Amino acid sequence: MNLKDYLDKAVQTKTAVGHFNVSNWEGIKAIREVCFELKAPIVIGLSQGEAEFMGIDEVAEVVKFYKNTYKLPVFLNADHFNNLDLVQQATLAGFDSILFDAAGSSLEENIEKTKEAVDLVRAYDPRILVEGELGYIGVGSIVRESVPEGAVVNEAQMITPQQAKEFVEKTGVDLIGPGVGNIHGIVKGYKENLSFQRIAEIKAATPAFLVLHGASGVDNDSVKQAIQAGISVVHVNTELRLAWKNALQKSLADSPEEIAPYKVLAPSVEAIKAVIKEKIGIFG
């Protein structure tokens, strides 16, 4: 089964595929081990910053190895790319999907820029899924003090079903990530208020798969309701980073004399695995 097959199944069963970002070997190792254990499909996300740090081609080869050698249902997504040169590089490297993010632009500009990315990807390999972003929800998987300026946080600001339909028809994207009350990162003391009605309306208006970005920090019941309303992919990153950092800090404090990286970092792998396994259980 390819990624689209799993997404079709998610729609039919009202479940969601988990999308987990990585920026180091611990994250990749954690995903591989969870895949072995649960046999659940997982999308590995690589943002532009993460890709520049780890290497687009290098990560792509690792994922291909897991697919071909171990037959794992693991897929690779270029997450929030806005540079067409990097989009082309990810396409040539054999990524399964690419999210081109022009959500900071007007709807008209977003359509124009996303269409250019779609045409570029399809010219090389029409099997690669392409996602567009609708509605600004902040940038970066970080812990925030406040809601990002300009973020879509109430229904009056959210993209309408008609606009989503227009976007999909004019760009030809396979997936869309709408701003429906979600925010990238975790905002201290803030409870994200997802609009399940708007999710359902957008799902009814377009055949594209719906993606929930910024799910870190969103309560489990809300995530489940969002999936029931039509979300088929859920993105998690900030919680993974926190799990990695907290486990590493404790590991260093507990063993100050240890200098073997694989020993110091082992608890971080387990911490990341615990988050991923919990989320997969929530996603169904």
Cβ-contact 204, 227 below 8 angstroms: no
| Per-residue pLDDT at 183 | 84
Collapsed DSSP state (helix, strand, coil) of residue 97: strand
| Per-residue pLDDT at 148 | 76
What's the number of domains the chain is made of? 1
**How far are the Cα atoms of 22, 116, 164, 245, 257 from residue 60, in angstroms, in the given order?**
12, 23, 31, 25, 35
| Per-residue pLDDT at 184 | 80
Query: Which tokens sit at 266?
Result: 């082992």
| Per-residue pLDDT at 137 | 78
Phi/psi at 64 (5° precision): -60, -40
Query: Which tokens sit at 82?
Result: 């806005």
| Per-residue pLDDT at 228 | 98
* Mean pLDDT per 10-residue interval, the chain, length 284 residues: 97 98 97 96 97 97 96 97 97 98 94 98 97 87 78 84 97 97 80 91 98 92 97 97 98 97 98 98 95
What's the domain range around 31?
3-283
Options 5, 57, 79, 101, the catalytic residue: 79
CATH label of the domain that carries residue 234 = 3.20.20.70
The 3 state secondary structure assigned to 229-272 is HCEEEEEECHHHHHHHHHHHHHHHHHCCCCCCHHHHHHHHHHHH
Please name which of 169, 135, 171 lies closest in space to residue 155, comparing C-alpha atoms: 135
Please name which of 86, 88, 78, 71 lies closest in space to residue 129, comparing C-alpha atoms: 78
Q: Catalytic: 221?
A: no
Read off the pTM. 0.95
